[in-house]
């Protein structure tokens, strides 16, 4: 019997059981659409986070006080004051770290900001004039504070758009005096609207000279992080090495296990975030995969019921001359047609829904959510279903 005739027989079989065929196809479509949607959203989220991390430069590295926490008992808080001004100075010295373009420390200043009775809870950083350049945050209005202002402990502040909106509304904020923990600071610049960046929201940010923060607000002379930019990506490892040597020398550390600092490179960060989003995607995918498997078992069940239910038809076909192979071919082809049609519709549905989701997320969250066609999910879905 020619394959075309077998196909015709199988198609007739499916047409004769329209409702059951449609329900079976629907099961496959939902399973594949679900797994594709989940994987598309997962990979979209992954790309978004990675693009944010990569947005701050692949030549960037971050020096953090304390040892890297490898568990709750080793929390890095123990060595929180190991990075201070002398360390920043030492790292800035070309003799110590020749490949560093700039070295920007910052410390967190807890507390609120207020202006004429309006109060806002911002993220306040005491930092240097290089912060704007390192983080690609050029003020849309006014300017960032200068090196002189840092050295002179000037009471100047650069604020994010949310801070400006909350305190000033539509009125101009430049040159106005805001109060941070009782001390007046003059607003000299407004940062662009950027939303979340790494671990803080730029729009909620207040940046002031770290010298001023130390002197008037926190009284602490140590930093939460030092951001170092290497000349280029290929020099990151060399820079990490030089920084480690310099800090160990200053702190008199001979045993590297007793380092009172650790260094994150952007690659570390990308790897970590990749791991986290990978785990999330795997988790979601496994849920979607379960739905696919359940769907698959559903199809098996329907095919089994179909074979049992259709013994009369099988008997008739054998009576008019069908061989066992013909019958087997017919039922296999019917199943393949069901999964094939379901698979194609599912992939189309999954791609369409993923695309729609990427549009909706981009619009709603005001982010550039990239649509990715989850090819592996499509293949996985079709593979499992067939």
Nearer to other proteins, 260 or 334 (CB): 334
Q: By CB under 8 A, tell whether 317 contacts other proteins.
A: yes
Give the number of C-alpha atoms closer than 13 A to the C-alpha of residue 19, restricted to the C-beta side.
Answer: 0
CB of 291 to other proteins, least distance (A): 31
Residues 262/243, Cβ–Cβ less than 8 Å: no
Q: By CB under 8 A, tell whether 5 contacts other proteins.
A: yes
Q: By CB under 8 A, tell whether 289 contacts other proteins.
A: no
Nearer to other proteins, 13 or 66 (CB): 13
Q: Contact with other proteins (CB under 8 A): which of 323, 366, 368, 376?
A: 323
CB of 32 to other proteins, least distance (A): 28
Q: By CB under 8 A, tell whether 77 contacts other proteins.
A: no
Q: Contact with other proteins (CB under 8 A): which of 70, 170, 182, 320?
A: 320
Q: Which of 376, 377, 381, 354 is nearest to 45 (CA)?
A: 354
DSSP E strand boundaries for the chain: 60-65, 100-109, 113-115, 118-120, 123-127, 141-142, 156-159, 177-180, 183-190, 196-197, 200-201, 205-209, 225-230, 261-265
Nearer to other proteins, 89 or 318 (CB): 318
- The tokens for 373 are 């066609």
- Where does this chain touch other proteins (CB under 8 A) — which range of 7-15, 169-177, 273-281, 363-371? 7-15
Q: Contact with other proteins (CB under 8 A): which of 186, 312, 349, 364?
A: 312
CB of 19 to other proteins, least distance (A): 11
List, in sequence order, every residue forming a beta bridge with 28; answer none if it has no partner.
none
Q: Contact with other proteins (CB under 8 A): which of 182, 219, 311, 319?
A: 319
Q: By CB under 8 A, tell whether 94 contacts other proteins.
A: no
Around Cβ 122, how many Cβ atoms within 10 Å?
25
CB of 54 to other proteins, least distance (A): 59
DSSP per position, 94-126:
TTT-TTEEEEEEEEEE-S-EEETTEEE--EEEE
Q: By CB under 8 A, tell whether 324 contacts other proteins.
A: yes
Q: By CB under 8 A, tell whether 321 contacts other proteins.
A: yes
Q: By CB under 8 A, tell whether 322 contacts other proteins.
A: yes
According to DSSP, residue 234 is labeled G
Task: Identify the burial level of 26 via C-beta atoms within 10 angstroms of its C-beta, where 0-12 means exposed, 13-18 middle and 19 or more buried.
Answer: middle
Site for other proteins in 98-127 (CB under 8 A): none
Binding mask 17-56 for other proteins (x = CB under 8 A): -x--------------------------------------
Q: By CB under 8 A, tell whether 89 contacts other proteins.
A: no
Distance between CA 112 and CA 173 in Å, rounded? 17
Q: Which of 59, 67, 60, 61 is nearest to 262 (CA)?
A: 67
Q: By CB under 8 A, tell whether 236 contacts other proteins.
A: no
Q: In Å, how far are 143, 153, 214 from 106, measured between CA atoms?
A: 19, 14, 11
- Where does this chain touch other proteins (CB under 8 A) — which range of 33-41, 98-106, 240-248, 310-318? 310-318
| Residue ranges that bind other proteins, judged by CB under 8 A | 1, 5, 8-9, 12, 15-16, 18, 312-313, 315-324, 326
């Amino acid at each position: 019997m020619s394959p075309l005739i077998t196909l015709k027989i199988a198609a007739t079989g499916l047409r004769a059981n329209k409702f059951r065929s449609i329900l079976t196809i629907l099961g496959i479509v939902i399973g594949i659409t679900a797994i594709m949607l989940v994987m598309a959203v997962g990979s979209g989220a992954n790309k978004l986070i990675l693009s944010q991390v990569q947005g701050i430069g692949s030549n960037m590295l971050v020096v953090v006080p304390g040892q890297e926490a490898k568990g709750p008992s080793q929390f890095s808080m123990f060595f929180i004051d190991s990075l201070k001004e002398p360390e920043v100075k030492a790292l800035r010295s070309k003799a110590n770290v020749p490949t560093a373009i700039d070295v920007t420390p910052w410390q967190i200043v807890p507390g609120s900001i207020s202006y004429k009775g309006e109060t806002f809870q911002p993220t306040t950083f005491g930092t240097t004039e290089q912060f704007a350049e390192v983080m690609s945050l050029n003020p849309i209005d006014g300017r960032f504070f200068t090196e002189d202002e840092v050295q002179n402990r000037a009471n100047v502040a650069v604020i994010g758009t949310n801070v400006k909106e909350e305190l000033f509304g539509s009125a101009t904020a430049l040159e106005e005096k805001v109060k941070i923990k009782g001390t007046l600071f003059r607003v000299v610049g407004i940062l662009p609207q950027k939303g979340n960046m790494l671990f803080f929201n730029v729009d909620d940010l207040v940046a002031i000279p770290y010298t001023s923060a130390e002197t008037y607000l926190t009284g602490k002379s140590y930093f939460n992080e030092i951001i170092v930019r290497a000349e280029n990506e290929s020099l990151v490892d060399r820079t990490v090495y030089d920084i480690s040597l310099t800090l160990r020398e200053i702190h008199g550390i001979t045993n590297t296990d007793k380092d009172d600092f650790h260094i994150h490179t952007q690659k570390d960060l990308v790897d970590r975030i990749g791991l986290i989003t990978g785990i999330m995607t795997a988790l979601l995918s496994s849920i979607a995969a379960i739905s696919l498997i359940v769907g698959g078992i559903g199809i098996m069940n329907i095919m089994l019921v179909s074979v049992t239910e259709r013994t009369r038809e099988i008997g008739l076909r054998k009576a008019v001359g069908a061989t066992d192979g013909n019958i087997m071919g017919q039922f296999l082809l019917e199943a393949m047609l069901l999964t094939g049609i379901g698979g194609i519709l599912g992939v189309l549905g999954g791609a369409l829904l993923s695309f729609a989701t990427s549009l909706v997320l981009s619009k709603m969250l005001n982010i550039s959510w990239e649509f990715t066609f989850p090819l592996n999910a499509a293949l996985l879905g079709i593979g499992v279903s067939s």
